[in-house]
Structure 1
């Protein structure tokens, strides 16, 4: 059972002081005295006001209320330099409440909290003030909701249907993930839903024109397939398989290659990425091999995450790659002078 609930952010107290408390009264015409500043405080004040120059009495003549206001802001900022933002204070408060209830924070995903007691297992996933709760026992979920309601004012949204822009309809076949509403919002903002829409006039700068063509191509694809999504079937094997690839020197500006992979749990895609590599690959083999190394890191993280969820995975995890040279390097523990520069990445792949 999955329940999404939104905790009341109004119950979180932020340690901040309104700036109005430091503003001079508009009705008061009294001259506010300027305190004596040290050299360090003066330099901080100049940086705050974007003033260049050396300390002198001329800097303090006139507009005394402005300097008094900024001095108060500077003092307030200095006193609260170590204060945590409101979002961090909210998470700390929520963390302490779950810890008191017997939950343990996952070291692989800090937003995941787990409580396992015998045959009962409950997991809580937190994103800011949105919470997803899942369990194999309805009574445990009800107790947790009652407990959280005593600590925070929460709103029970029932069965999970929508979360972070992702629609989550459930059926007897499994869970279907889609972003139909999000896609329609994008198409509406860009005018693609207008039947009289015409593409923008060509741009003379070649790079911008290429980017515009790619963006419009993506939008045309989204317009034709708003109902597409990902099905996570109930009956699925727990075998983990990754398909890794690389697009060498795909970036026309930096000539860096692109790492691409997708990971399946059974027949369900659960993780994927397409990202530029940090360095320029000097060969297609190196680009493919670095993509395999990134895929290995992802598989390691997924294995630890499954262990936290009570699904230990002892089976071999397979990485598929279409570059024979990269596969030979991964299988060969001996490095020659041509492969020493990728030796550190090679230790990640077994």
Structure 2
């Protein structure tokens, strides 16, 4: 049986982290970010700041003979006033690319968001420990995928055998940017987001810059993508710009070209896929802005409504 004296503690660093563009040192641990510090300094939008800190596609990766792994974390639990409780975030452990375990934590920091008042309050919470046991007693590659929709502070990684940095996978790096669907808004597990599924199917190393509510053609996001090594790139553009009622047709076209030009500055020959929005019934004929549907929330459902005037589409409002 494993005892406390058998544990090896491994510092959590970029050497064993994939899918993140930055790792912030804090008093309690390290926080993976999907935008670099220079980009975060330009964020004035609380929604984007929250979304980029949620580690969709981010995973710890290492080689070891360990049969037991412990990970100490502080998860941020979101509570929306008037909405049903959210499920706990899911951590998935893969052995040699195959799912070997799932776990979650029930406590952590609490972020209470009141969409009607436009306020948010954070209450600090405890460190929780995830445990994965019964792993094969041989040399293997392990990945621990962090919750795609729950900000996670990494405190300590312990194993019952030494950890080594992973071997180069030899896989092409796929860098993707999109909205909440890319982030994984309807996924229940981190390896179940569509970018994670596509990367696994296509044999690619994923860097997922899908930001719920935050695919807004921000120049700092384009520069982050420009400066990130990648073999292929994709961007899904449009729906959040309509949701936010951010710009009209005249500004939208040049903004798209400017974003793509910035990507090409750093990736002049890499394949680049541009994806338009999929169906969004509330916005097919009605422009933004988007607003919470408080009737739905009073019934225990999360819903939204489009509040724009269809008559303004002729003047350049986007749908």
Common topology (TM > 0.5)? no
Bigger Cα Rg: 1
Structure-2-length-normalised TM-score: 0.25
- Which has more strand, going by share of residues? 2
- Which has more helix, going by share of residues? 1
